[in-house]
């Protein structure tokens, strides 16, 4: 009886496994493989247009002042007063600074006294010359009448010539002291520092201040930096490939991050005759009218120049150009109802 039940269980398990295998075989035969669907690509269609196109190049550079100089004293001394500061507008011949003038004023007074002394010496020498001339004339007259000896005449003549020479020396001394006086007056005038420059531009701007009032200055110590901002220069550097295409008088459009959307018109005024060996670039200077002083030295700028322009050219956006099998082109969409071909923006 026990053997019977064991056989029955074994047959049941075998039957169940056979049924499961049979179902899997049928399911695999009836299964249909799904075909992969091709994914669509979204494109944009636009018309081929005829318009003007230009070869534009953008160069980066910086703004520099059209003219700039450092104001410095010609003499040493303590800075007493500074009348202008950074950003102030100055005009030609304005008084900028004062240096302590006590020492130089005393030099002028001393030189003036020496001139007066020299003038007194001239008067004295002139008087002596008159006396010597009279004595010589009298001795000469007496000699003609043989009243005095020839030696007495020679003595009178020698005194006259010596007085004449002394008078000339005193006159030269006067000229020397007058020159010293003038030099002292010039040094004294240097205690008042004025701004002066050449050209028709009557006003400029203080860019930097290097010292404060009370500073002891030596000769050529920088005091202020003076800038001409009515006209500024845009300095850019071009590579050898573009150098031959740059011409004097050519215009460019200048933009800067400080004034988004604002454009300034510049004109090329100077082209460097050499390219630096280290960078293979040449310096180009463009002049910009800057009456409102918007552009400041040191600003980063972009200069856009047009080298070539073509009219009525069939054009498509750059993104629509594709490369297939080593060739570049665009996909055209031909519709019978459309008179003009269309291209796809990929």
| Residues facing 239 on adjacent strands | 281
Find, among 74, 85, 90, the residue nearest to 186 by Cα.
74
Beta strand spans in 85-195 (E) = 89-91, 95-99, 192-194
Q: What gap in Å lies between CA 170 and CA 93, rounded to an integer?
A: 39
Q: What gap in Å lies between CA 161 and CA 153, rounded to an integer?
A: 12
Query: Are the beta carbons of 73 and 190 closer than 8 angstroms?
Result: yes
For residue 155, report the phi and psi dihedrals to the nearest 5 degrees. -65, -45
Query: Are the beta carbons of 171 and 115 closer than 8 angstroms?
Result: no
Q: From first to last of its 346 residues, what are the pLDDT tens digits of the chain? A: 556 667 766 667 767 677 777 677 776 666 544 455 555 556 667 777 888 877 888 999 999 999 999 999 999 999 999 999 999 999 999 999 999 999 999 999 999 999 999 999 989 888 888 888 888 888 888 878 777 788 887 888 888 889 889 989 999 999 999 999 999 999 999 999 999 888 878 899 999 999 999 999 999 999 999 999 999 999 999 999 999 999 999 999 999 999 999 999 999 999 999 999 898 999 999 999 998 999 999 999 999 998 888 888 888 777 777 887 788 888 777 665 555 555 544 4
**Where do we find the tokens 């005038």?**
189
| Tokens linked to 3 | 């053997």
Using alpha carbons, list the distances in angstroms from residue 202 to 91, 258, 277.
6, 28, 40
* DSSP letter assigned to residue 74: S
Q: What gap in Å lies between CA 238 and CA 304, rounded to an integer?
A: 12
């Amino acid at each position: 009886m026990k053997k019977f039940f064991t056989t029955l269980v074994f047959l049941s398990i075998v039957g169940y496994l056979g049924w499961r295998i049979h179902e899997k075989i049928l399911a695999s035969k009836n299964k249909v493989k799904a075909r992969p669907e091709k994914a669509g690509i979204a494109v944009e269609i636009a018309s081929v247009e005829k318009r003007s196109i230009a070869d534009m190049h953008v160069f980066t550079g910086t703004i520099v002042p059209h003219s700039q100089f450092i104001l410095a004293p010609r003499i040493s001394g303590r800075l007493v007063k500074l009348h202008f500061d950074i950003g102030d507008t100055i005009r030609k011949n304005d008084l900028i600074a004062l240096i302590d003038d006590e020492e130089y004023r005393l030099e002028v007074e001393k030189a003036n006294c020496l001139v007066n002394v020299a003038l007194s010496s001239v008067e004295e020498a002139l008087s002596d010359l008159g006396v010597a001339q009279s004595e010589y004339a009298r001795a000469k007259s007496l000699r003609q009448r043989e009243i005095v000896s020839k030696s007495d005449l020679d003595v009178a003549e020698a005194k006259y010539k010596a007085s004449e020479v002394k008078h000339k020396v005193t006159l030269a001394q006067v000229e020397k002291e007058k020159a010293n006086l003038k030099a002292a007056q010039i040094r004294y005038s240097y205690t008042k520092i004025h701004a002066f420059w050449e050209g028709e531009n009557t006003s400029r701007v203080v860019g930097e201040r290097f010292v404060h009032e009370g500073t002891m200055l030596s000769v050529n110590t920088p005091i202020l930096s003076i800038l001409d901002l009515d006209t500024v220069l845009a300095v850019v550097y071009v590579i050898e490939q573009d150098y031959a295409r740059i011409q004097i008088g050519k215009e460019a459009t200048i933009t800067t991050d400080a004034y988004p959307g604002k454009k300034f018109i510049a004109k090329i005024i100077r082209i460097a005759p050499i390219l630096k060996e280290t960078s293979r670039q040449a310096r180009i200077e463009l002049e910009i009218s800057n009456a409102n002083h918007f552009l400041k030295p040191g600003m980063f700028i972009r200069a856009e120049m047009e080298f070539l322009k073509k009219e009525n050219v069939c054009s498509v956006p750059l993104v629509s150009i594709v490369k297939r099998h080593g060739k570049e082109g665009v996909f055209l969409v031909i519709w019978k109802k459309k008179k003009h071909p269309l291209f796809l923006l990929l």
